[in-house]
Amino acid sequence: MIPRYSKPEMSEIWADENRFKKMLEVEIFAAEAMSKLGAIPQEAVETIKRKARVDVKRINEIEFTVKHDVISFLTAISETVGPDARFLHLGMTSSDVLDTATGAQLKQAINLLIDETKKLVVIVYDLANKYKMTPIIGRTHGVHAEPTTFGLKAASWYCEVLRSVDKLSFALETVSYGKISGVVGTMAHLDPKIEEYVCRKMGLKAEPVSTQIIPRDRHSIYFTMLAHVGAALERIATEIRHLQRTEVSEVEEPFTKGQKGSSAMPHKRNPIISENICGLSRVLRGYALTAMENIALWHERDISHSSTERIMLPDASIILHYMLVRMQTLLSGLNVYPENMQINLDKTKDVISSGTLLLSLVDKGILRENAYGIVQAVAFNARDNKITMEEACLKNQDIKKYLTVEDIRRDCDASSQFKNVDYIFKRVFK
């Protein structure tokens, strides 16, 4: 991933240095297991552990000639270890090392993603509770519907971000697997105890039935869950983009000192973080599709998945990590304008109480269809003549037949819409 969208904590996990170190751990643990079984000398294992060094530059130099990354890795390690390097990689295939090392990297990556998502949970929790009863117009189809509160919007985000932690935890459980089972998974040249030992040492579980590789449905779950979390962030970002429009101006992204919004228009303060998050979420969805395409490989393995994973594993992980950090910045510094929320509520006056009036008429015994027509006519009259819904109702004889002045005033009071907000919050924030 390009540096612009990379944070060092995640980039380091997918750097060549860490990847080769994980591969070396796999080889050393395999050698340890073999020595415990009496297959290789313990002295050789001690020599390997003492002398083995990862030299990324040297590995890349060798690969330029041999065109094989694992052979290049083993050759470079052999150069530092000496003759005892012959005890490395015995009975193993490249994917034993690669897939097990990747499982360890995935554990590192997901744990970091979970940590950042939990930080976001706290930020959204605070936002929801701070604006629990702050009125804002609810919109459906982009049009004024009925009042809600900004706290309820944030509470909905809170629930989805909390579910994102669960999704990432599921992905962690799904991909935390390794395999040391040989070229087609039969363990023909390996004692099963070697796989058990290596996976335990790497903090992984052994794949129950592997071919030459770990089945790629596991990895597709990882990419799919990342896409889900990205979509959750996109939902928040899309809402903020709409609420920041000049015609709305109910919230606004933080705008730091010295920041500039446009090269041509000095007045601009654009929702660039939200737009950034929305764009990157599309990349994650693309990777999820490719990961599913990687599940169906030829027989015990081909490498059509390999090229895509070399790009996707680091990039998708780095992208989502970046998005999570950016969303933390956005929401922790979000400018919220309750006064503009009230102005927008007032634009449709109390016409948005039409649903409440409809139910009151039905409660008085009027057929719903007839009540709907009465209230719709009153609402359109209020809108067209720029008067309140209460005023229009008080002038309408059909409504006055059934509802008292007190009934009408009660139904046109927006605060009546929030009587169950406390109940919802108690259900969410147990």
- Residue 429 belongs to a domain: no
Contact in structure between 150 and 134 (CB atoms under 8 Å): yes
- Residue 382 belongs to a domain: yes
pLDDT of residue 318: 98
Question: What CATH code is carried by the domain that includes residue 403?
Answer: 1.10.40.30
pLDDT above 90 for 349: no
Whether 318 and 355 map to the same domain: the answer is: no
Whether 355 and 329 map to the same domain: the answer is: no
Whether 357 and 239 map to the same domain: the answer is: no
Contact in structure between 9 and 112 (CB atoms under 8 Å): yes
Phi, psi of 206, rounded to the nearest 5 degrees = -80, 130
- Residue 260 belongs to a domain: no
Residues forming a β-bridge with 352 = none
pLDDT above 90 for 422: yes
Whether 299 and 384 map to the same domain: the answer is: no
Whether 289 and 393 map to the same domain: the answer is: no
Whether 325 and 361 map to the same domain: the answer is: no
Check residues 280 and 263 and name the one with the higher pLDDT. Answer: 280
Whether 357 and 312 map to the same domain: the answer is: no
Average pLDDT value for residue range 363-383: 93
> Whole-structure pTM over 0.85, yes or no?
yes
Catalytic residue among 68, 189, 262, 416: 262
89 SS3 class: coil
Whether 198 and 103 map to the same domain: the answer is: yes
Residue 262 appears among annotated catalytic residues: yes
Residue 287 buriedness (CB in 10 A; 0-12 / 13-18 / 19+):
buried
Residue 259 buriedness (CB in 10 A; 0-12 / 13-18 / 19+):
exposed
Whether 294 and 408 map to the same domain: the answer is: no
Catalytic residue among 6, 35, 89, 141: 141
Residue 365: domain span: 351-412
In angstroms, rounded to a whole number, what is the distance separating the alpha carbons of residues 326 and 319?
Answer: 10
For all residues of the chain together, what is the average pLDDT? 96
Residue 141 appears among annotated catalytic residues: yes
Whether 404 and 275 map to the same domain: the answer is: no
Average pLDDT value for residue range 313-340: 98
Whether 330 and 366 map to the same domain: the answer is: no
How many Cβ atoms are within 10 Å of 266's Cβ, its own excluded? 8
Considering its fold, how many domains does the chain have in total?
2
Give 372-375's long-range contacts (Cβ < 8 A, gap of 24+).
374/398, 374/399, 375/399
Q: Of 126-135, 307-316, 331-340, 415-424, which range is least confident?
A: 415-424
Average pLDDT value for residue range 355-374: 93
Contact in structure between 375 and 392 (CB atoms under 8 Å): no
